[in-house]
Amino acid sequence: MLHGYGGRILRVDLSSRRILREKIDPDYMARAIGGRGLNSLRMLDELDLNLDPLSPENLLIMGIGPLTGSLLTSSAGMTISGKSPLTNRVGNSITSGFFGPELKRAGYDQVIFTGKAKNPCYLLVADDHVEIKDATHLWGLDTWQATSAILKELGSNLFQVAAIGPAGENLVKFANLAFNGFRMGGGNGMGCLLGSKNLKAIVVHGTSQVTLAKPLIFHALCSEMDQKIIAHDTFDEITKETPARANQVKNKSCYNCNLNCFHYHVKEQVELEGPEHDSLHGYSSRLGVDDLSSSLKMNTYLNKMGIDSLESTQTIGLTMECFQKGLLNRNDVDGLDFSLGNQKTVYAILKKMITREGVGDLFAEGISKLSETLGKKSENSLKISEIADPLVKKQKTFFTGQTDQQELLMDCMTLCKKNELAMDTLDIDAASKFLTAGTGIDFTLKRIEKSLQGIIDANKKMNTDLSSIKE
């Protein structure tokens, strides 16, 4: 018997409404490990790289790790993958919270969506019961409203909900998924993929327990890991760090994590879990706004609408910088004043972006398309490109290189990088012990390194092939 893993792959074709369950192949799982690795090998095997990312044939995959939902600290993550509508490359969104462990308890290691539903729908997974349900009444709701409405409809708060907001529905290329309204699956536009499939949400509840091959050894390893994390010299710094301390009311954690690094803020009408450093400062100092309360309010709005904070602030920041340098004027952007620090314009362009109204339709394509199009409109196209190119290149960076091995291992095991990676408490040797004791597969150092290299090679091949396809 294979332990640790949920044991099944769930396939959902939204066009035909056909639902299939497959038993996992132990040899395949040993090659993939799980999470991002499992999704990468699946895309290599089954994804047509030539397709339009928004076509029904694109894959939308959710993958979790072999120890997700176990006693291993921060084993709470998951990876959402597909051909990215933002970059036209292989895209992954890494998130954490409680959804991944709940999916494991329902008995699944991976969910693969294909096709497009005729009408808005959501997928309900409750252990063996899997159903495609109507979501016409949910279309147009923000992520908070949709989550609340689904839980009320099901009559239970035990379900974990991953939902898109209006940004995903309107196919904003960098739309997010919101997990229970607060934890965001951002980057690469996976929320846009849900919208392209008329999939409003995925809702999960499971009641099974994660089994372990050698529970006593595994528990001893977990206790040792907990002590390493607590004793680490950055433990207190991470759990207390926040630039908006005055508005913080409590700390929160993901499933089975002792770090409690998420900060829950309440400020007037604003209620927010997080945001992370880049998101907070993206909508303050990056845009010339010196009011952190305004940044908290903005990030709450972004979460409700289901739109990525980093990509959106880059598009706005680029335009503000071009305005400041005289490279663009109001006539280029629907008459809006993109002076640095103009909060009214920030709100206005976000609303246009989310609804794809006017110039917002261009902003909704992301910074690469935005800079290219604005450059063509302006006599200063070369200077605009000089400002935008570093951001665009960072966005399209391929997954390459041996130096990514440890980070990849964390994503395959779906562990938090703040814990095991940032604190350097889990190297490949320790991972070998955890994986072997947890799954019963003999995950030797050689096997892990071979698996990781195979996943790296798979990503290199896909992205190399994609780079040769004319966009």
pLDDT digits (tens, 9 = 90+) for 91-122: 999 888 889 999 999 999 999 999 999 999 99
Q: Let me know whether 347 and 201 are in one domain.
A: no
Based on C-alpha coordinates, what's the Rg of the chain?
22
Q: Let me know whether 418 and 455 are in one domain.
A: yes
What confidence tier does 266 reach under pLDDT thresholds 50, 70, 90?
A: low
What CATH number has the domain bearing residue 71? Answer: 3.60.9.10
| Distances, alpha carbon 212 to alpha carbons 14, 105, 217, in Å | 34, 13, 10
Q: Let me know whether 360 and 459 are in one domain.
A: no
- Give the span between the Cα atoms of 434 and 265, in whole angstroms: 35
201 is in which domain, residue-wise? 8-211+404-467
Q: Is the pLDDT of residue 277 over 90?
A: no
- Give the span between the Cα atoms of 407 and 417, in whole angstroms: 8
Helix axes 405-413, 35-46, angle to 10 degrees: 90
What confidence tier does 402 reach under pLDDT thresholds 50, 70, 90?
A: very low
Q: Are 72 and 415 in contact (CB under 8 A)?
A: yes
Q: Let me know whether 388 and 411 are in one domain.
A: no
Query: How many domains does the chain divide into?
Result: 2
| Distances, alpha carbon 273 to alpha carbons 54, 287, 444, in Å | 30, 22, 39
**Is 357 among the domain residues?**
yes
Q: Let me know whether 65 and 98 are in one domain.
A: yes
**Is 162 among the domain residues?**
yes
What number of residues does the chain have? Answer: 471
Q: Is the pLDDT of residue 153 over 70?
A: yes
For residue 470, the model assigns a pLDDT of 59
Tokens 């004027």 correspond to: 329
Q: Let me know whether 66 and 158 are in one domain.
A: yes
Comparing CA positions, the residue from 138, 151, 114 lying closest to residue 18 is 114
Q: Let me know whether 379 and 411 are in one domain.
A: no
**Is 16 among the domain residues?**
yes
Q: Let me know whether 123 and 189 are in one domain.
A: yes
Q: Let me know whether 340 and 382 are in one domain.
A: yes
Q: Let me know whether 19 and 168 are in one domain.
A: yes
Provide mean pLDDT across the span 426-433: 90
Helix axes 428-439, 215-231, angle to 10 degrees: 150
For residue 62, the model assigns a pLDDT of 97
Q: Let me know whether 171 and 60 are in one domain.
A: yes
In the chain, the amino acid numbered 448 is I
- Give the span between the Cα atoms of 469 and 447, in whole angstroms: 33
338: Cβ–Cβ under 8 A, 6 or more apart, which residues?
316, 319, 320, 322, 323, 328, 330, 345, 349
Dihedral angle over CA of 290, 295, 297, 298, nearest 10: 120
**Residue 48, SS3?**
coil
Which of 395, 417, 443 lies at the terminal end of a domain, its last residue? Answer: 395
Q: How far is the first Cα of the chain from the last one, in angstroms, to the nearest whole number?
A: 46
Q: Is the pLDDT of residue 382 over 60?
A: no
**Is 2 among the domain residues?**
no
Phi and psi torsions of 23, nearest 5°: -75, 145
Which of 336, 363, 395 lies at the terminal end of a domain, its last residue? Answer: 395
**Is 231 among the domain residues?**
no
Which of 367, 395, 423 lies at the terminal end of a domain, its last residue? Answer: 395
**Is 235 among the domain residues?**
no
Q: Let me know whether 382 and 419 are in one domain.
A: no
> pLDDT: is 298 or 389 the higher one?
298
Provide mean pLDDT across the span 322-344: 90
**Is 250 among the domain residues?**
no
| DSSP per position, 225-250 | HHHHHHHSTTHHHHHH--TTGGGEEE
Q: pTM for the full model?
A: 0.90
> pLDDT: is 269 or 36 the higher one?
36
Provide mean pLDDT across the span 315-325: 89
| Distances, alpha carbon 143 to alpha carbons 45, 201, 306, in Å | 33, 9, 7
Q: Is the pLDDT of residue 213 over 80?
A: yes
What CATH number has the domain bearing residue 342? Answer: 1.10.569.10
